[in-house]
Amino acid sequence: MRAVTIAFAASALLVPCGCTSPASGADRADPGVDAAAHADARVTDATDAADAADASDASPRCTPGHIEEFPLPTNMFTYPSWIAAGADGHLWFTWQDSDSTNIPGHGIGRMSTSGNLTVFSLPTVGSQPEYIVAAPDGYLWTTEYQTDKLARIGTDGGVTEYAVPTPHCQPNGIAAVEGPEGRIWFTEATASKIGWIAFTGGTPTDLPTPTKNTRPTAIVEGADGNLWFSEPNADQIGRVTPDGSFTFKEFSVPTHESSPNGMALGPDGNVWFTEPGANQIGKITPKGKVTEFPIPTKNSGVFGGIAAGPDGNVWFCEDSAIARITRSGEITEFPLPKEMSGAAGLVALPDGSLWFVESRVNKVGHLQVCPDSGELDASTDELDAFSDHEGHPAGD
């Protein structure tokens, strides 16, 4: 794999969230205060010590709801597609349709949280990598949508490709499941199949979904240990057991033409998903009951990006915003600096930041969530109340 490293000081843009939620963090301390300013202070009595401790605590603190962006070189990237957090502490993202003669076709970007970027090309030109996921063993995996392959990428940029057995299947969503087998699971959009391959590689295996032409897209491991996947063409959520029996079951989404797409396991143990066709967010319990929540902004452009946040809520991408939904269904939207940026992919880091790509403006961005602030955390009362809230039954 050929690599190009670009070290640049990103002219990051810090943007206030623009929301009116009490959790906006408007009363927080200025993040520019230097904590080191308190380090050399001489403390002569208990009162001074307490004052110094309070001042230190109020020093650089997280400012929730703020967005920082890193522009990507326009001569290399035209369409960053998806993003994952690597075991090496970097952000890894797929990109497509490069105009550069030095980096052909499509490939993988590796970015530090400070914005330093390394670019890797994939061996197969025109592969169009889509989803990307980090496996527990440290490798990254991506689906190659146009060439019916999977690629395993080491943190040094080394890559191995594996052909999917079904031709013209368009592998799409991907998930890493540790378990006793240690497998990468993936969807095949045009073949309407679910497949898997061992973490160590080998030959992929796939099986058809019960309903034909469902165009399975995202896939995620549920709290029940099963694999859950979206079927946008059939307005269904599918489930398959990984225990060797590979038993499938499909559940209807109540809204017609909702086209369920992106999926994430929520902190509440339910699987949350996007509904681009209905401009809604849905959640399905392990028993198959579905609840749907309308997004406040009409034609928000919600599509595939959705993830559990470090604050106990679920977050998702819109065309012009990053949004948060609580367990009770309350949605708050945080506008991006530029409208119609095409936010996609979403991944949480331990520091309380959510990272995403902006496909239409060629950027990588992140929003601060502040998991330790208490401002964006779901309350215990909310958790207890939500456990009894089921909504529209589907399936079981």
* CA dihedral of 361, 158, 184, 271, whole degrees rounded to 10: -30
Mean pLDDT within 267-283: 98
Q: Pull the structure tokens for residue 240.
A: 């398959």
Higher pLDDT, 374 or 302: 302
The whole-number average pLDDT for the span 272-299 is: 98
The answer on pLDDT for 289 being more than 70 is yes
Residue 152 has pLDDT above 80, yes or no: yes
pLDDT tier at 386, thresholds 50, 70, 90: very low
Cβ count near 104 (within 10 Å): 13
pLDDT of residue 366: 95
Residue 268 confidence (pLDDT): 96
The band of 394, judged by pLDDT with boundaries at 50, 70 and 90, is very low
Q: State the residue for tokens 């699987």.
A: 271
The residues that bridge with 236 in the sheet, in sequence order, are: 231, 252
- Residue 152 in tokens: 């395993």
Residue 63's pLDDT band, with cuts at 50, 70 and 90, is: low
Half-sphere exposure of 276 (CA within 13 A, CB side): 19
181 pLDDT band, cuts 50/70/90, is confident
pLDDT the model gives residue 62: 62
What is the mean pLDDT of the segment spanning 305-328?
96
Mean pLDDT of 99-111: 68
Lowest mean pLDDT among 81-90, 141-150, 181-190, 367-376: 367-376
Does residue 55 register a pLDDT over 90? no
Give the pLDDT band of residue 50 (cuts 50, 70, 90).
very low
Residue 350 Rama label (left phi>0; alpha psi -120 to 50; beta) = alpha
- What are the beta bridge partners of residue 308? 314
Give the pLDDT mean for 382-392. Answer: 33
pLDDT of residue 105: 56
- Per-residue pLDDT band for 223 (boundaries 50, 70, 90) equals very high
Which pLDDT belongs to residue 382?
A: 30
Domains of the chain plus CATH, in order, are 1-8+64-156 (2.40.10.500)
CA separation for the pair 152, 139 (Å, rounded): 6
Report pLDDT for 243: 87
Mean per-residue pLDDT for 181-188? 96
SS (H, E, C) the chain: CCEEEECCCCCCCCECCCCCCHHHCCCCCCCCCCHHHHCCCCCCCHHHHHHHHHHHHCCCCCCCCCEEEEECCCCCCCEEEEEEECCCCCEEEEEECCCCCCCCCCEEEEECCCCCEEEEECCCCCCCEEEEEECCCCCEEEEECCCCEEEEECCCCCEEEEECCCCCCCEEEEEEECCCCCEEEEEECCCCEEEEEECCEEEEEEEECCCCCCCCCCEEECCCCCEEEEEHHHCEEEEECCCCCCCEEEEECCCCCCCCCCEEECCCCCEEEEECCCCEEEEECCCCCEEEEECCCCCCCCCCCEEECCCCCEEEECCCEEEEECCCCCEEEEECCCCCCCEEEEEECCCCEEEEEECCCCEEEEEECCCCCCCCCCCHHHHHHHCCCCCECCCC
pLDDT at 247: 97
Residue 66 has pLDDT above 90, yes or no: no
